[in-house]
Amino acid sequence: MAKKPGFKKFRKLVATDLDGLRAEFAQMRTDLDATRKQLDEMIAVNDELMAANNKVVADLRLLDERLVHMGREFANQIHELATGIDGLEKHADSVSAEALAELHDVQARLAAEQVRYEIAFRQDLAEIADQLRRAR
């Protein structure tokens, strides 16, 4: 029959196991602290990126509002030009029909150009917004 280990040996085995567990827990604690530090750094970087993105979005909104305002102003000016041309047509005896036709052509070109600029600007804004969404 094999002899049972004595109490001193058992106590040594338990102490050795406890020391091993303590060392593992200490290593786990160190790893956890390192992971927390990395996570905190990543959160800080993410916060900085979000702040930058929010600023860009605010700037894009401001540009869009400015474009809308300028578009309205330009449309109002074109409308005033049309009203002026209509007034000139009523007094056609003093203004040649050729000059009125030329004014109408200029008005149409101005309106078309304004629309083209507005469409191109909105496409640029949409591309920038799309790039921001992809970056996230």
Residue 6: per-residue pLDDT: 65
Distance of CA 101 to the CA centre of its chain: 46
pLDDT band at 67, cuts 50/70/90?
Answer: confident
For residue 4, pLDDT over 90 is answered with no
Chain segment 78-134, per-residue pLDDT in tens: 787 778 777 766 766 655 767 777 777 888 888 888 888 888 888 887 887 787 777
Determine the Cα–Cα distance for residues 103 and 95; give it in Å rounded to an integer.
11
**So where are the chain's domains?**
36-135
pLDDT band at 27, cuts 50/70/90?
Answer: very high
Determine the Cα–Cα distance for residues 88 and 91; give it in Å rounded to an integer.
5
Angle between helix axes 97-135 and 7-90 (nearest 10 degrees) is: 180
